[in-house]
């Protein structure tokens, strides 16, 4: 496996630039409470990966990508397309974390951090079996490097990414900072969606509150609610039935800082 070269003494870039997606990031480099670090170029998070160009596909091959976890609904995958497994041979795993997208009448509420945090909590309580399967997949042999993605790369992907980092021992404040990094990409995503659906720009704009709203307070409240509901991340892992997978994942992605 080969990795993009970096200058001696410099860290890899957390944000990876692609032509066909706007929110592709590395979860590596984050320190854990026990003094270790998440290895670079092992776990990635992203928005939709159905518009990748030839250059994008070549970059993913160079990264040695092994697994793609698609958290979008079945309708999203059917309408927009899926990861190009014929061009980038990977293990593609479709795991819809929600059955449907937010209803139009609910969209204004997605501008409120408390509401969004509650919806994230519902993804855990109602979609726990999906999160369990995703973590089991990532912990299985030969699955890494892997990328998890949805359409925007901030909500469903944000929930799974937060759980992974929490289970790996990354402090809450770092998880919150990672979540907030999606804000920079959301304006570009909205413009891309307008270009993709020129005959439905008004409909796309209706979704703007859900697409654009990324604030640290959302993840801060979500994590606080997890602790209140489950007690600790270890207890949450036990609830999801992934304690063994978490240990395997820690062994495969944590390195000395």
Domain assignment present for 159: yes
**Listed range (1-5, 9-13, 67-71, 232-236) with the worst mean pLDDT:** 1-5
Residue 193 contacts residue 211 (beta carbons within 8 Å) = yes
- Is pLDDT larger for residue 194 or for residue 37? 37
Q: How far apart, in whole angstroms, are the C-alpha atoms of residue 129 and residue 240?
A: 7
pTM for the whole thing? 0.92
> Within 146-215, where are the H helices?
156-168, 172-180, 183-196, 201-206, 208-212
> What's the pLDDT score for residue 11?
80
- Report in angstroms the alpha-carbon separations of 166 from 29, 144, 178, 226: 14, 19, 12, 11
pLDDT at position 104: 65
Confidence of residue 2 (pLDDT cuts 50, 70, 90): very low
In a domain, 211, yes or no: yes
Please give the residue range of the domain that contains residue 77.
Answer: 15-251
Number of domains in the chain: 1
DSSP state of 152: S
Give the pLDDT confidence score for residue 1 in this predicted structure.
37
The confidence score (pLDDT) of residue 205 equals: 76
Of the two residues 45 and 187, the one the predictor is more confident about is 45
Per the prediction, the chain carries an average pLDDT of 91
Are the C-beta atoms of residues 146 and 83 closer than 8 Å to each other?
no
The CATH code of the domain that includes 86 is: 3.90.190.10
Q: Decide if 36 is inside a domain.
A: yes
The pLDDT value recorded for residue 105 is 67
Q: Could you read off the pLDDT of 231-246 as tens digits, one per residue?
A: 999 999 999 999 999 9
Residue 142 has a pLDDT of 96
Range 78-90 average pLDDT = 95
30 within a domain of the structure (yes/no) = yes
In a domain, 215, yes or no: yes
In a domain, 97, yes or no: yes
State how far the Cα of 125 lies from the Cα of 117, in Å rounded to an integer: 13
7 belongs to a structural domain? no
Sheet strands (E) in the chain: 15-16, 24-26, 36-38, 43-46, 67-70, 91-94, 146-149, 254-256
| pLDDT tens-digit readout, 192-216 | 878 877 887 887 777 776 667 899 9
Confidence of residue 100 (pLDDT cuts 50, 70, 90): low
Whether 8 maps to a domain, the answer reads no
Average pLDDT over residues 154-169: 97
């Amino acid at each position: 496996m080969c990795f993009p070269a970096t200058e001696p003494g410099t860290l890899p870039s957390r944000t990876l630039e692609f032509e066909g997606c706007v929110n592709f990031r590395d979860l590596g480099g984050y320190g854990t409470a026990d003094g270790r670090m998440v290895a670079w170029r092992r776990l990635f998070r992203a928005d939709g990966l159905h518009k990748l160009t030839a250059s994008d596909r070549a970059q993913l091959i160079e990264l040695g990508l092994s697994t793609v976890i698609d958290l979008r609904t079945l309708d999203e995958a059917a309408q927009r397309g899926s990861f190009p497994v014929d061009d980038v041979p990977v293990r593609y795993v479709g795991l819809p974390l929600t059955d449907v997208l937010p209803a139009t009448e609910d969209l204004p509420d997605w501008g409120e951090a408390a509401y969004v945090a509650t919806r994230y909590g519902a993804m855990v309580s109602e979609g726990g079996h999906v999160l369990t399967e995703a973590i089991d997949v990532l912990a299985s042999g030969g699955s890494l490097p892997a990328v998890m993605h949805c359409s925007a790369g901030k909500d469903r992907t944000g929930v799974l990414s937060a759980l992974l980092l929490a289970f790996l021992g990354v402090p809450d404040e770092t998880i919150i900072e990672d979540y907030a990094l999606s804000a920079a990409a959301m304006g570009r995503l909205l413009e891309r969606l307008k270009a993709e659906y020129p005959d439905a720009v008004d409909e796309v704009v209706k979704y703007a509150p859900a697409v654009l709203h990324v604030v640290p307070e959302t993840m801060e409240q979500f994590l606080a609610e997890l602790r209140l509901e489950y007690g600790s991340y270890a207890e949450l892992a036990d609830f999801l039935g992934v304690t063994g997978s978490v240990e395997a994942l820690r062994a495969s992605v944590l390195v000395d800082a």
